[in-house]
Amino acid sequence: LDLSLQKGGLIKGDKIIGTLRNLVGETLIENLPIPFTAVAADIQAEKEVWLNNGPLFDAIRASISLPLFFTPFNHNGVLLVDGGVLNPVPIAPTFNDRTDLKIAVNLGGAVADVKQVESKAEPANERPFLHQKVAGFIDSLRDGSVAALGLDWGMYDVANQSFDAMQSTIARQKLAVYPPDIIIEIPRNACGTLEFDRADEMIELGRATALQHISN
């Protein structure tokens, strides 16, 4: 992670994208073997932006720009943030392609009991210094509590729950307008917004859930 000194977010994201470039190599979206569209949001014009041509990692960087955490991405003079702000389940771009089956993954599914596997995260004292600082900042936002509700929620928890509620409502509306053939619902409490260390666990949950839906 590369800490940002700008006001737009905590993390610049350059190191993440740089790592991906080193692994995959630079490529253009139009040269990919299957159609791909990344969805970002133009926060000034208040509209979705579909990125389906040009540098792949520019599109990815724009679409992962989670407000507050990642700085917005300047794409040809337009400030873009995570497309999930306006459309958490971007099905509409698939209607431009010839498909046999449309499968949508909704990460804002109903809250459920989710069995968690043991985290493979490194011990706190072995994590990079910057990682510890960011984690400490997030933890500091959890210290306060919402006593009136009897919940041990800090500022971060209240903001996160509010954002989840908004996203879940938008997702249901989008799914109603653009119904896919199969909807894979992932409980929105399966993973926290910043629990990147649980990637392997979430990939396995997604794989198992997808196989269950497809087999049915």
Instruction: Please count the structural domains in the chain.
Output: 2
Instruction: Categorize the per-residue pLDDT at 120 as very low, low, confident or very high, splitting at 50, 70 and 90.
Output: very low
Task: Assign 3-class secondary structure to 159-203.
Answer: HHHHHHHHHHHHHHHHHHHCCCCEEEEEECCCCCCCCHHHHHHHH
Could you list the residue range(s) of the whole structural domain that residue 120 is in? 99-216
Same domain? For 165 and 68 the reply is: no
Same domain? For 110 and 180 the reply is: yes
Same domain? For 16 and 54 the reply is: yes
CA 168, 206, 193, 104 dihedral sign is negative
**pLDDT tens digits, 49-59:** 999 999 999 99
Same domain? For 166 and 61 the reply is: no
Same domain? For 31 and 74 the reply is: yes
**150 assigned to some structural domain:** yes
**pLDDT tens digits, 52-83:** 999 999 999 999 998 878 889 999 999 999 99
Q: At what angle do helices 14-24 and 56-63 cross, to 10 degrees?
A: 140
Domain final position from 86, 111, 132: 86
| Across 132-143, average pLDDT | 54
Domain final position from 54, 86, 118: 86
* Global pTM value: 0.72
